[in-house]
Amino acid sequence: MSALPDRQQDSLVALEARDVGKAFVSGQVRTVVLERVSLQINAGELTLIAGPSGCGKSTLLSILSGLQRPDSGEVFALGERLAGLGLSALERFRLRHTGFVFQGFGLFPALQVAEQVELPLQYMGLSRTEMRERATEALQEVGMWSRRHLRPLELSGGEKQRVAIARALAKRPALLFADEPTSSLDAANGQLVIDMLHDIARLHGNTVLCVSHDPRLIAHADRVLRMEDGRILDDQRINPLPAAQPTPTWSST
């Protein structure tokens, strides 16, 4: 499903930040959120940016995904210098190459599960047949195909997040960004979502970048970057990257 051609170059740098800085101004107060952050994120891995609330991790994810521009420094995604893209080109880049999973799920109340997954595919110029095939494949992978006709009100929190993951997967993005994906879930559903994100990186070769203060994610990440006060204080590799394995299936119960 990955936009990357294969997994034989596991050390390929998919995301890079060079001396990225960001500050916000409110009245006479200027607050520095990121201070000369530099990092490289490899394809085929789940990288976790951890740290307390307000440390700058969500802002960093937003900048790396192209949702925000840095005040200083450079960001490269899949070899593309994001600052060199105009607004339209940047929107096309995000549409083609990125997927997002958020804490609040981002589902539309009136749409059925299958429609939620197909919605972003409509903007990619895909045929109706291909849209349905991609949605079916993604929902089967996260164990939600049997729930495809339900609406968000009929789903649990864990099921909603699995639909959100399927919606991102159906785009077949090279880059998958997750912002606090487990913070609103109980222990069992949080664990399920963690396992899914990890398997997406390892089995499909996606670059999965997750920001969270949930300690459960640490043991499942391939690499953990710890942030505080707008800086990366520690960079630790947790799990080695194994060879590709068969695609898992998750129960829809």
pLDDT of residue 4: 36
* Closest among 178, 180, 153 to 167, alpha carbons compared: 178
Which percentage of the chain shows pLDDT scores above 90? 59
pLDDT over 90 at 60, yes or no: yes
Q: Confidence class of residue 239 from pLDDT cuts 50, 70 and 90?
A: low
Task: Count up the domains in the chain and report the number.
Answer: 1
Q: What is the pLDDT of residues 151-179, one digit of tens each?
A: 999 999 889 999 999 999 999 999 999 99
Domain that holds residue 166: 44-66+87-237
Q: Residue 13: beta bridge partners?
A: 42
**Cβ(144)–Cβ(91) below 8 Å:** no
pLDDT over 80 at 246, yes or no: no
**Cβ(73)–Cβ(83) below 8 Å:** no
Across 93-120, b (16+ Cβ under 10 Å) vs e yields bbeebbbbbebebebeeeebbbebbbbb
Domain-embedded: residue 156: yes
CATH of residue 105: 3.40.50.300
C-alpha angle 55-51-54 in degrees, rounded to nearest 5:
25
Joined together, the tokens standing for residue 227 give 């942030």
From start to end of the chain, where are the E strands?
Answer: 13-26, 29-42, 46-50, 72-77, 80-81, 98-102, 175-179, 207-212, 223-228, 231-237
Contacts of 242 (CB under 8 A, 6+ apart): 202
Average of per-residue pLDDT values in the chain: 86
Domain-embedded: residue 54: yes
**Cβ(21)–Cβ(35) below 8 Å:** yes
Contacts of 153 (CB under 8 A, 6+ apart): 109
Domain-embedded: residue 30: no
Domain-embedded: residue 142: yes
Q: Which residue has 């740290």 as its token pair?
A: 51
Domain-embedded: residue 219: yes
pTM across the whole model? 0.84
Q: How far from chain centre, in Å, is Cα 55? A: 19
Domain-embedded: residue 229: yes
Domain-embedded: residue 22: no
pLDDT over 50 at 237, yes or no: yes
Domain-embedded: residue 93: yes
